[in-house]
Amino acid sequence: MTDECIFCRIIRKEVPSQPIHEDHDLIAFPDKNPVAPVHVLVVPKEHMVNLNEAGVKDVPVLGKMLRLAAKIANEKGVAESGYRVVINNGDDGGQIVPHLHLHLIGGKGLEHKLG
């Protein structure tokens, strides 16, 4: 974890959030600027800037992130109608917070274009 990273600060409970899931490896909470009725961030507790820093040892947590996204989609009622799972990676990929995370987005029709 880093001192400046907003997600690390959320994980350490220094910044309030409304977790909808938390375990040893992950925390999930609503995006503070949602682009759809369901917009949840799934964040690994171990600080990694992006996928480029993920190694073989991180594969279980990455898989767990995807499974948690599917579980939350089901709980939020968007699994049947459809949802999007996005990882923005690096500046050109649209990543704003330099801590690996995924966006679960659903609850309305999403455009077919990426992003």
- CA-nearest of 40, 45, 49 to 13 is 45
Instruction: State how far the Cα of 78 lies from the Cα of 93, in Å rounded to an integer.
Output: 25
Residues 14-66 have pLDDT tens digits of 999 999 999 999 999 999 999 999 999 999 999 999 999 999 999 999 999 99
List the catalytic residues.
101
CA distances from 56 to 25, 31, 69 (A): 16, 28, 21
**pTM exceeds cut of 0.75:** yes
Instruction: State how far the Cα of 29 lies from the Cα of 104, in Å rounded to an integer.
Output: 10
**What is the set of domains in the chain, with CATH numbers?**
6-106 (3.30.428.10)
Element at 52 (helix H, strand E):
none
* Average per-residue pLDDT for the chain: 95
